[in-house]
Structure 1
Amino acid sequence: MNTKKIVILDDHRVVIEGVKTALNERAEFEVVGEEVNGASAVEMIRRLKPDIVITDVSMPGMNGMDFTVEAKRIDPGIHVVVFSMYSDREYIIDFLRAGVSSYVLKEEPLGELIFAVAAAARGGLYLGDKVSRMLRDHLSGSDEVCGEGDGLKLLSSREREIFILLAEGLSVKRISDKLNISPKTVESHKYNIMEKLETGSVVELTRLAIRKNLIRA
Structure 2
Amino acid sequence: MSQIIRVLVVDDHPIVRKGMAQIIGEDPAMEVVGNSSNGEEALSFLLTNPADVVVSDYEMPGMDGIELARRLAGLKPPLPLVLLTMHKDEDLFNAATDAGICAYLLKDEVLDNIAQGIRAASGGESYVSPSLAQFVMRRSRSTQDLKERHTGLDSLTPAERAVLKRIALNLASKEIASELHISPHTVTTHRRNIAQKLELTGKHPLLNFALANRSAILSLPD
TM-score class, shorter = 0.5 to 0.7
Q: Does 1:124 align with 2:125?
A: yes
Q: Does 1:134 align with 2:135?
A: yes
Partner AA of 2:104 in structure 1: Y
Distance (Å, rounded) in 2 between the aligned partners of 1:134 and 1:97: 13
SS at match of 2:109: coil
Distance (Å, rounded) in 1 between the aligned partners of 2:27 and 2:110: 17
Q: Does 1:112 align with 2:113?
A: yes
Identity %: 26
Distance (Å, rounded) in 2 between the aligned partners of 1:37 and 1:134: 27
Residue 25 of structure 1 corresponds to which residue in structure 2? Answer: 26
Q: How do 1:48-67 residues align onto structure 2 when only pairs under 5 Å count?
A: 48-67=49-68
Residue 87 of structure 2 corresponds to which residue in structure 1? Answer: 86
Residue 7 of structure 2 corresponds to which residue in structure 1? Answer: 6
Q: How do 1:193-208 residues align onto structure 2 when only pairs under 5 Å count?
A: none
SS at match of 2:35: strand
SS at match of 2:48: helix
Distance (Å, rounded) in 2 between the aligned partners of 1:139 and 1:11: 33
Residue 101 of structure 1 corresponds to which residue in structure 2? Answer: 102
Distance (Å, rounded) in 2 between the aligned partners of 1:138 and 1:43: 34
Q: Does 1:42 align with 2:43?
A: yes
Distance (Å, rounded) in 1 between the aligned partners of 2:3 and 2:33: 15
Aligned residues: 141
Larger radius of gyration: 2
Unaligned runs of 5+ in 1: 142-217
- Structure 1 segments, 4+ long, off by >2 Å, are 74-77, 133-141
Contact 1:89–1:135 (CA under 8 A) maintained in structure 2: no
Unaligned runs of 5+ in 2: 143-222
SS at match of 2:6: strand
SS at match of 1:2: coil
Q: CA deviation at 1:75?
A: 3.7
Distance (Å, rounded) in 2 between the aligned partners of 1:75 and 1:90: 28
Give a deviation string over 1:128-148, Cα, whole Å, max 9, x none.
01222333356568xxxxxxx
Distance (Å, rounded) in 2 between the aligned partners of 1:39 and 1:122: 25
Q: CA deviation at 1:87?
A: 2.1
SS at match of 1:55: strand
Q: TM-score, with normalisation over the residues of structure 1? A: 0.60
Q: CA deviation at 1:109?
A: 4.5
SS at match of 1:112: helix
Give a deviation string over 1:193-217, Cα, whole Å, max 9, x none.
xxxxxxxxxxxxxxxxxxxxxxxxx
